[in-house]
Structure 1
Amino acid sequence: MNPLVSIIIPNYNHARFLKQRLESVFGQTYQNFEVILLDDTSTDDSRSVLERYAAHPKTSHVVFNGKNSGSPFAQWEKGLGLAKGDYIWIAESDDFCEVDFLEKLVPLFFKEENVALVYCRSNNVDENGNFFDIFYPDNFDNQKWKTSYFNNGNDELKNFVRYTNTVPNASACLFRKQDFDFSEMKKMFFAGDWLFWAKVLSTGNVYFCSEVLNHFRFHDKTTRSNRSTNRYKEYLLVLSFIYKTIGEKLSYERKHFWIYYEMQRQSVSLLFLFRHVRPFFYAYSYFRYKLLKHQIRTKLLSKR
């Protein structure tokens, strides 16, 4: 009931947020943890901030890369390799949390059987410290994530995660340590976290805590602020994994839903369409997209 938690803090150019992040970690009311500090060749003042915490008794490793890894998941993989705890918290360097984050979440691993993932509700905070009561999954079901719940991992994949990434921020999560294959994720820039949480859920169950214990920093350098027509390729890779896990076939129409979803989200020109979809399927796929979008939203709302 008092397991060691390995807290991995991967950082890249977040010097202005680091002190608040680190103080919120070291000040936890639950104190059985180690801290692994990783810097991916920052060009700001991050190194000097991290070095001030290197001698802290809870700090087990401080690693400064000589060359940028090119992927946050390479840092996740490195941190997991150094971790001694049975449970992992990837505390992103620009976020911060409540002091009882671990105290509230760690016991949930022992409340039900085979819990592989525990996460809490978050709110958004901008770079100036202004808070916004925004939790991305509420866009798909504005009631489900208002109360705490336990669910079978495969059921969570089948009924929710295959429609969207319902785990919007790594800093809000604790997960059971195990071996993960990061080879695909290290090539991804937009949906690698979605794939990671799908892999975690394929190994066990989930417990969600509806208390706001995590504060998700949103600024112009966050991945969600970036746009690219390559997103849909990563979406399809994630969906292929999920559908294989739940034993269903990823249909032609569902693949094209994600292509058109990306088009609508970014107002992509028809040139994108003709590069990736045979033109004579245009009308058919467009109407299938509209229908499937309606069906998905209706199905999600019916899960309340």
Structure 2
Amino acid sequence: MENRQVEVSVIIPNYNYARFLRQRIESVLSQTYTNFEIILLDDASTDDSVSILNDYRDNKHISHIEINAQNTGSPFIQWEKGIRLARGKYIWIAESDDAAEPIFLEKAVAALNQYPEASFCFIGAHCINEFGNLICKDFDRWTSKQLRHSSGMAVFEGADYIEHNLYWRNYIYNASGAVFQKSCFEQIKGSPCFTMRYCGDWLFWIEMARQGMVIEIYDKLNFFRIHSSSTIANANVLGQGVKEAMQIVSVTEKQLPLMPKCKRRIIHGSFYKEIKRMRVPANIREELLASYRELLQGSRLDYYIERFYKLMAPCLPGLLTRTRDRL
């Protein structure tokens, strides 16, 4: 690729996704917005991935093809490697098992250029299975509150977005749906999110939201592929995913000292409920409850408060819930 200035660096990290890889690369090359470079990364795949990547070596958009000799075991290591190579102002981590509509980048870049104070822009997704067929899952969970925006887009202060959205859950559920400022990423190097195994992406987006405003675009222009994941399965068996999530909530609460107490207790109670309902050995459950008390200073009372809010919310429209609090 000639040494010209590009606005967007598209990083495609891959590990053993040869069966999806060509569709992903073609969906990037088909974008209506064209001022981008593509950085192809492979984390020592054992399938036909490298052969597919090499098929694109002469494409004018490809600036790097980097093949690891050994697997790193961490998506964040690949992200950081790609960003070090990136020349663009904006970064799109286009996961190799996903795809996108041709207009995805055009909309994202236009929004980021319109609001230069924004650290990232997030666009909704259709969910597809391993065969590319649409499935009945909706991770966006937009309500009339989000869809009321006539422009199909909303912009939020980062601190507000954390308190009302990301504190409850990771609404940025798929990295492929986000385009972010490279300069904002540079500000969060050293964050503990990069050493987490299960929930690091949740903390990553919280850290990014602290760097500026957040843009949401209420249009499903991404295709998020749902298929089996042994990492998630192991996280549930060992309870490590829950423990990391509690660590993230604890960190967020320390940085938002004015958080309403009732909101904290609802969140804490939801963790207590989840731990009690997990199908794990008794010793692991006790370890998780000990972490719950240590990290959140939580108690059984929080569980009863969470249950009260959950059961009474349909009868009391003013009662706090995750959906009602969401911006």
TM value normalised by structure 1:
0.87
Deviations 1:194-223 (A, max 9, x none): 111111100001111111110001001375
Deviation at 1:259, TM superposition (A): 3.4
- Alpha-carbon contact 1:153-1:202 (below 8 Å) kept: yes
CA change 1:188–1:54 in 2 (3 A) is same
CA change 1:77–1:231 in 2 (3 A) is same
- Alpha-carbon contact 1:3-1:87 (below 8 Å) kept: no
Aligned counterpart for 2:117 among listed residues 111, 114, 119: 114
Segments of 5+ residues of structure 1 without an aligned counterpart are none
Separation of aligned partners in 1, 2:325 and 2:260: 22
Are 1:200 and 2:208 counterparts?
A: yes
The one-letter amino acid of 1:152's match is: E
| 1:86-97 alignment runs, 5 A limit | 86-97=89-100
| 1:73-152 alignment runs, 5 A limit | 73-138=76-141, 142-146=143-147, 147-152=152-157
Deviation at 1:22, TM superposition (A): 0.3
SS of aligned partner of 1:131 = coil
Separation of aligned partners in 2, 1:73 and 1:128: 27
Separation of aligned partners in 2, 1:35 and 1:206: 24
CA change 1:249–1:127 in 2 (3 A) is same
Aligned counterpart for 2:66 among listed residues 42, 46, 63: 63
Aligned counterpart for 2:222 among listed residues 205, 208, 214: 214
SS of aligned partner of 1:198 = helix
RMSD: 2.9
- Alpha-carbon contact 1:232-1:258 (below 8 Å) kept: no
Separation of aligned partners in 2, 1:28 and 1:117: 19
Deviation at 1:109, TM superposition (A): 1.0
| 1:246-257 alignment runs, 5 A limit | 246-248=256-258, 253=265, 256-257=268-269
The one-letter amino acid of 2:321's match is: T
SS of aligned partner of 2:211 = coil
- Alpha-carbon contact 1:73-1:182 (below 8 Å) kept: no
CA change 1:67–1:292 in 2 (3 A) is farther
The one-letter amino acid of 2:242's match is: Y
Aligned counterpart for 2:176 among listed residues 168, 171, 176: 171
**2:51 is matched with which residue?**
48
**Greater relative contact order structure (CA < 8 Å, 6+ sep):** 1
Segments of 5+ residues of structure 2 without an aligned counterpart are 314-318
Separation of aligned partners in 1, 2:286 and 2:75: 32
Deviations 1:151-196 (A, max 9, x none): 1111100111100001110001100002132562343222111111
Aligned counterpart for 1:274 among listed residues 286, 297, 301: 286
**1:184 is matched with which residue?**
192
TM value normalised by structure 2:
0.82
Identity %: 36
Deviations 1:112-146 (A, max 9, x none): 350111111101000011102533241xx633444
Deviations 1:42-65 (A, max 9, x none): 011100001111221111111111
- Alpha-carbon contact 1:4-1:32 (below 8 Å) kept: yes
Deviation at 1:239, TM superposition (A): 1.9
Moved more, 230-239 or 263-272: 263-272
**1:160 is matched with which residue?**
165
Moved more, 29-38 or 221-230: 221-230
**1:32 is matched with which residue?**
35
The one-letter amino acid of 2:304's match is: F
Moved more, 208-217 or 258-267: 258-267
The one-letter amino acid of 2:40's match is: L
